Amino acid sequence: MFFISNVQAQLPIKIVDGKLIRDDGTFGKFQTQKYTPLVDSLNKSLKLNPKDTTSLFIRSTLYLFSNDVQSKPNQREKGTLENLILAKDMVENAVSYGMQDIRLKILRAQIYRELVYRFTGDESWMFDSKQTAVRRKQFNRYKELVNKYYQELALSDSSRAYDYNKLKVTYVYPL
């Protein structure tokens, strides 16, 4: 008997409407178990060489994609926000190590956009005024950065400028 399997060395992604999306043939939610071997391999690679920009890029992409599955509306729960912050740090490291790929720039803007989204709910019942002020400051900083990164993308990739401009954040902190 012969078995045919599809093995890919890279995470299959493509750019659609100014965002990175999975291009692995599956529709619907991200299946974390499908990518467990890749995640393990990337984690080992990053332990051995923390400056490997390709591993940083792919691992942060997986953090972003897994965010679709791990959405937890209660902001105090561990998981989603922490993973997005890890992804943000990995992307920033890849940028600081000199990676120039357009997909990395899109990923960075997309992660910051997701971070902004994590602060858009009405959290008045959950946080006191001091915590709310800290969260408002984080929201505004992430919003400023996402808009800056999408503006840079619009200038450098004029064929997708309309898509990038549509993705800019316009809402304000709700409290």
Residues sharing a CB contact under 8 Å with residue 103, sequence separation 6 or more, in sequence order: 13, 15, 20, 57
pLDDT at residue number 24: 77
pLDDT attached to residue 7: 45
Q: Going residue by residue through the chain (175 aa), what tens digit of pLDDT does each one get?
A: 444 444 445 678 999 999 999 887 776 677 778 888 999 999 999 999 999 999 999 999 999 988 765 555 555 556 788 889 999 999 999 999 999 999 999 999 999 999 998 888 777 788 888 988 998 999 999 999 999 999 999 999 999 999 999 999 998 887 7
pLDDT at 1: 47
Rg (Cα) of the chain, in Å, rounded? 17
- What is the DSSP secondary structure assignment for residue 168, as one 8-state letter? S
